Amino acid sequence: MKKNSYFLLMLAVVVAMLLPACSGNKTADAGDLLATIPSDASLVVVVNSGALLEKADCKVSDDKIEPGADVKALLERMNTSDSAGKIEKLLADGTGIDPTVMAVFQVGYYYYITGFLADPAKFKEAVEKDYTGSFSTEDGIDICANVAVSNSRFWINMEQGSIDSKEIKHFTALDTSQSFLNNNYSDNLKEFSKDVEGWGNINGMLNTAGLSFQDRATAQVTIQTLFEDASSFTFSIEFDKGVASLEAEILNSKGKVAKFQLPTKELDVETVASVGGTSRILAALSMPAKMISKLTKEVSSKSPSVLGEYLKVLQGVDGTAACAMGTDGAMRGVITTSGNNIGMLTDVLGQSGINVNKEGNILRLSKGEASGPGDVATLSKDFKGAMFGLAISDFSGTPYEKYGFTQSVLKLIPDGDGIQIDLQCKVADENDNILLTLIRKL
């Protein structure tokens, strides 16, 4: 396979996924894709390519794609000298891909992209132009390197330069009981209105995450302590003007929202705001005494742990705790207590070089001069209704700095018996779709 071939094809597919053929107001029907994804898949993600194409400012007719100015500039930046113009020409001539809806799924350690073909012959021709060799038929499946075609469907193995024809044949022969359509959550993914929606099996993802046995066991114990019968998770992503939003929830083995097993209480926003000033990072957590008591009981019933020792320190906490952080360990914070059993907590804080001032049942904390671009009083309003909030206003020195994020807010929100996970990432230009902003930064 040529050095740039896999990159060129993958980028063409991704561009097709990020460009729209239909109105974003329509739902995408992914049922035919799910029917050929096995029920034991660890991760299934469906992409509303139609909606995303519009947001990437591209035009699509049949299988031909006319990149918008930002996507065209990205392709030019990413092209190497010996492949200049190849991707753009490939898109303009037509890849044969039907860009209405696509899916990414994981089986074992392999990730696959799959979708529909408007013109299988043209797709094969496009693949063969950039791959050494040509398609051959194995087990009734047309194979070229890591690309497989069966009738009007394609699969790409994202993990290696080859693809197993027997595996693909197995995918095409699944009945309903063997496919993802048998999953309790399949109806939610068959027709969806968000840009991206997905489902993942918790144990399956942990087993293939490259974690040690001890780390996997710790993660599993933690999840099962927090959630009753936690089995899977779901998420959706939406790209809007100036912001990208992610929502996620933990589900039980019946496909229902898993019960969060600890007592919860919403953050006292006024207490968070009382930290004052500015910060790079603001974190806040509601810790009612009942939560700490139950968590202590759960942990003590198991083997001794570091968490158990921390919980001993927190015995006097009862309410909202918040911390505004700057650079070099500088911080300001507040902890609401019951007024009792706080000696161990104040000792530990003091040993960490943190100044502690007691105001009734409130502990005021400080260390150095914490500052940053985020106004604490303003950020605290974003935490309303949440039991936990984390706001980052300065990404300098992080891998995300290059994307131009100005603020990211993560919240855990009590939702019935469960917990909704909400993440928003913002960029400076509130009038520009964040997808275009991200494309310009790549």
pLDDT along the chain (442 residues), means of 10: 40 45 44 93 87 74 71 68 52 72 90 90 83 87 93 89 94 94 90 88 89 87 91 94 95 94 95 97 96 84 69 92 94 95 92 94 95 96 97 91 91 96 93 84 78
How many other CB atoms are found less than 10 A from the CB of residue 49?
26
Location of structure tokens 């699944």: 174
Bridge partners (DSSP) listed for residue 426: 243, 407
Half-sphere exposure of 336 (CA within 13 A, CB side): 19
CA dist 314 and 171 (Å) reads 52
Q: What does the block give as tokens for 376? A: 């604490």
Residue 274, token pair as written in the block: 């009382």
- Alpha carbon distance 44, 53 (integer Å): 21
DSSP assignment letter at 297: H
Closest CA to 203 of 185, 187, 224: 224
Query: Is residue 199 classed as helix, strand or coil in its secondary structure?
Result: strand
Return the structure tokens found at 305.
């742990």
Collapse the DSSP code of 69 into the 3-class scheme (helix H, G, I; strand E, B; otherwise coil) and give the result. Answer: helix
- Provide the pLDDT for residue 299: 76
**Which pairs with CB-CB distance under 8 Å and at least 24 residues apart come from 299-306?**
299/225, 302/221
Mean pLDDT of the chain: 85
CA distances from 59 to 71, 163, 437 (A): 11, 32, 18
The torsion region of residue 427 among left (phi > 0), alpha (psi -120 to 50) and beta comes to beta
Structure pTM? 0.85
The answer to whether 288 and 263 have CB atoms below 8 angstroms apart is yes
Residue 355 to residue 182: CA distance in whole angstroms: 57
Q: What is the longest distance spanned by two Cα atoms in the chain?
A: 78
Report the pLDDT value the prediction gives residue 78, as an integer from 0 to 100.
64
Cβ burial 391-400 (10 Å sphere, 16+ → b, else e) = bbbbbeeeee
Task: Report whether 21 contacts 60 (CB < 8 A).
Answer: yes
d(CA 378, CA 410): 15
Contacts 24+ apart (CB under 8 A), 345-353: 345/313, 345/314, 345/315, 345/316, 345/317, 348/313
